[in-house]
Structure 1
Amino acid sequence: MCIDKFEQTKCKMINRNKLGRAVRGVLNHAKVENRLVCGLIPAINYLEKNPEDVLFCLLPQTSPGDATTHMQTVLLQAYCYENYIPVIQVDSGQKLAELCGFSERKHQSKCLCAIVTKCPEMADIVSDDSTSSMSSLSPTEQILTTFYECTIEEFPRPIIVLPG
C-alpha cells in the first residue's frame, strides 16, 4: 500500500490514546441505530448474507491457550480481509461485551466479536470514490477508518485499549 504525503500527515495526526473512546462512540452510536451485531455466530450469519454492508469488525485479543477461539478468530479475520472489511483489534473481550450492552458476566462470553454495519443511507452509495463514502461516515467512524488504513501494514497489528 502506498500512502501519499497528505495521508502520511493524516496518519501522524491520529492520537492513538483516544482510539478507545472513538471505538466506544462508534459502538454506542451503532447500538442506538440498530447497526451493531455482537457475538461470533450472529456476526458470521450477518457476514454470510451481507458482507458489503459491514463497516468494521471488532475483535478482542484471544487468551493464550484458547485454541478454539483463536482458530475461529483467525478464520473470521481471513474472511473479513478477503471481503475488504476492516478488522480492528481491541484489548478486552469483557470490555467489548460491556460496550455492546452485555452487562451480566454470564453473557459476556457471547461477545467474541462485534460488527458495525453501514447506515442505510451509506449502503445505498455505490461509488469508487473513497471521499464520497468517507463523507457519509460519522467523525468517529472516520477516525477508525483512517487508523485502519494507516496501520494496515503494521505487524503485529495494533491493539486498541478500550476504556474501562
Structure 2
Amino acid sequence: MCILKLKNVDKCKMINRNKLGRALQGVLTQAKTEGRLICGLLPAISCLENSLEDVLLCVLPQTRPGDATTHMQTVLLQAFCFENYIPVIQVDSSEKLAQYCGLGSRVGCPCAVITKDMEAQQDPPLSPSEQELTDFYECTIEEFPRPVLELPG
C-alpha cells in the first residue's frame, strides 16, 4: 500500500500543470473530430443520464461571481460526477470552451462532456493526453480551491 502511494506521489509530481491547458485543448479538438464531444448543459445531462459508463471526463468553466444559477448548476453537476467517479476539469473561460466545441467565441459553453473512444484498439484505451488529464484530476481531488486550467486562446 505504501509503495502504491509513493508511485502516485511521484506521478503527481511529474505532471506539468503549465502544459495541461494545451493538452485539454488537444483532447477537446480530437474528441470533436471523432464525434465524442458533447457541449451544452442539456445534452451533457442527457449523456450522463443515458450512457454514464461511456463518459471519460466533464469540463466545466469557472463560474463568474454573481451568477447564482450557473454556480448552482455547476455544483450539482460536479457532485453528480464525483458520485459517479467521473473526473471534472475546471477551465478559466466558458467562451474559450465554446470556441473549442465549435459554438463560436461569442457565446459561452456551460459544460462539455468527452466520451470514451469505444472503437479504440489500444490498451489502455486513453490517449496520453487523456491519461494525463485523468491523472491530474486524481492528484488534485483533495485540493481546495479546485485548480483551474487556463485554456490557450
TM range (shorter): over 0.9
Per-residue deviation, 1:88: 0.6
In structure 1, list runs of 5 or more residues that go unmatched: 125-131
State the secondary structure of the residue aligned to 2:57. Answer: strand
Q: Return the alpha-carbon distance in structure 1 between the equivalents of residues 83 and 6 of structure 2.
A: 27
Structure 2 partner of 1:138: 127
**What RMSD in Å do the two structures reach over aligned CA positions?**
1.6
Per-residue deviation, 1:121: 3.5
Structure 2 partner of 1:11: 12
Per-residue deviation, 1:143: 0.7
When normalised by structure 2's length, the TM-score is: 0.93
Q: Return the alpha-carbon distance in structure 1 between the equivalents of residues 147 and 40 of structure 2.
A: 22
Deviations 1:10-54 (A, max 9, x none): 110111000000100100110011000000011011111011110
Q: Return the alpha-carbon distance in structure 2 between the equivalents of residues 47 and 146 of structure 1.
A: 21
Q: Return the alpha-carbon distance in structure 2 between the equivalents of residues 90 and 161 of structure 1.
A: 6
Pair 1:40–1:32, CA change in 2 (3 A):
same
Deviations 1:79-110 (A, max 9, x none): 111111111100110111111111252xx23x
Per-residue deviation, 1:136: 1.4
User: Do the aligned partners of 2:94 and 2:110 also contact (CA within 8 Å) in 1?
Assistant: yes
Of residues 112, 115, 136 in structure 1, which corresponds to 2:113? 115
The one-letter amino acid paired with 1:54 is: V
- The sequence identity of aligned pairs, in percent, is 67
Structure 1 partner of 2:28: 27
User: Do the aligned partners of 2:140 and 2:147 also contact (CA within 8 Å) in 1?
Assistant: yes
In structure 2, list runs of 5 or more residues that go unmatched: none
Structural mapping, 1:1-164, within 5 Å: 4-103=5-104, 105=106, 108-109=107-108, 111-121=109-119, 135-164=124-153
Q: Return the alpha-carbon distance in structure 2 between the equivalents of residues 34 and 120 of structure 1.
A: 11
State the secondary structure of the residue aligned to 2:132. Answer: helix
Could you list the structure 1 runs, at least 4 aligned residues long, displaced by more than 2 angstroms after superposition.
none
When normalised by structure 1's length, the TM-score is: 0.87
Q: Return the alpha-carbon distance in structure 1 between the equivalents of residues 95 and 105 of structure 2.
A: 10
